[in-house]
Chains A and B, each alone.
Chain A
Amino acid sequence: MSTAPVLPETAAVYWRPRLDAARLRRRELGWTLSTFAHTIPFLAVAALMLYLEPLSFPVAAIAIVHAWGIPALYANRGACVVRPRPRADDGSERTALGLLGDLLGHEARELHARTGLALERGSLGVWLVGEAGALLVRPGGRRVDCWCVQAKPMTSGARPMDADLPSADRTAHLLLALREDEAGFATVANLAFSGGTWRLRHRLPKPMRPALAAARAIS
């Protein structure tokens, strides 16, 4: 019988099988096949149009743009999970940064200061934890999975009990949950995108790109 800690939030998504390396690989394969399914028909149409009538190249070009654009839109959705959210007041942000800094090692703290992402090594790969999501750079660094997940607001009935958290606190809540149970964290989170790291890199805000490079370097 396993005594590994289980994230209690997984009970809220009881219908999802607990994620492990093999299940994650299958989901990634599904994303790859889906990308081909979105891309190949448009490329085939473009090739067929040019073969039948070279003057139809504008239509072929539109088909090629679709073949490029649909995966790019998915990558954009993936990048959105770590885009910065509105800031709280300066005092709260400083306090929250202090606590997050205590949780991180020196290098990760410095990387977070530059990029806004907290780097965390895990068994599934290298995580970059943001305010409302996390990126998982898989071993080898060629594939990245983008997870949409956030700290839930505390409510009393329908009324929120807390105002918005400072950005570093939002990251710290996710980081602690990830450290408790990596597989549980990935089970609770929604997979927004899985694909080539190069595809995501272009969609990330520029200040965050060094974090992706750092994760790739050690994955």
Chain B
Amino acid sequence: MDQTGHTTLAEWTPGDAAAVEAAAIAFREELDRGLYAVVSTGEGHAEQVRELPEGAELVILRRPIAGG
């Protein structure tokens, strides 16, 4: 999620090793920038992930939060 609304950083399918690797690199770069990766785990629940979950339908990168 960014200033454009959202940007798709990578798309992959579990069987496509090259696409998975490219997605994992993009994923790692965003984590190194300080973003957190989140996967929805059912209604009202989400889980933070530190490695690209190949089987996930959608991984969202969110910014850290802080008290205002």
Question: Is there an interface contact between A180 and B46, defined as CB atoms closer than 8 Å?
Answer: yes
- Per the bound structure, the CA–CA distance linking A70 and B65 in Å amounts to 30
Contacts of A32 in B (CB 8 A): none
Question: Is there an interface contact between B67 and A190, defined as CB atoms closer than 8 Å?
Answer: yes
- Per the bound structure, the CA–CA distance linking A9 and B40 in Å amounts to 19
Question: Is there an interface contact between B6 and A96, defined as CB atoms closer than 8 Å?
Answer: yes
- Known contacts A5-B47, A180-B47; decide if A162 and B2 are in contact (CB<8 Å): yes
A35 close to B (CB within 8 Å): no
Contacts of B51 in A (CB 8 A): none
Question: Is there an interface contact between A152 and B63, defined as CB atoms closer than 8 Å?
Answer: yes
- Known contacts A150-B66, A176-B60, A188-B65; decide if A88 and B44 are in contact (CB<8 Å): no
Question: Is there an interface contact between B65 and A174, defined as CB atoms closer than 8 Å?
Answer: yes
**Shortest CB distance B37–A (Å):** 10
- Per the bound structure, the CA–CA distance linking A168 and B5 in Å amounts to 8
Contacts of A154 in B (CB 8 A): 33-35, 63
Interface band, chain A: 35 or more
A81 close to B (CB within 8 Å): yes
- Mask, B37-62, CB within 8 Å of A = 1, is 01010011111100000000000101
Contacts of A172 in B (CB 8 A): 1, 60, 62
Question: Is there an interface contact between A99 and B5, defined as CB atoms closer than 8 Å?
Answer: yes
Contacts of A177 in B (CB 8 A): 62, 65
Question: Is there an interface contact between A176 and B6, defined as CB atoms closer than 8 Å?
Answer: no
22 contacts between A and B (CB under 8 A): A5-B48, A12-B64, A81-B68, A91-B5, A92-B3, A96-B1, A121-B44, A132-B68, A133-B68, A148-B67, A151-B64, A166-B3, A166-B5, A168-B5, A169-B6, A176-B46, A176-B60, A179-B40, A179-B44, A179-B45, A179-B46, A188-B65
Q: Beyond A99-B1, A179-B45, list 4 extra A-B contacts (CB 8 Å).
A: A99-B5, A148-B67, A151-B62, A176-B60
Top 5 closest pairs, chain A to chain B, by CB: A95-B5, A190-B67, A179-B46, A148-B68, A96-B5
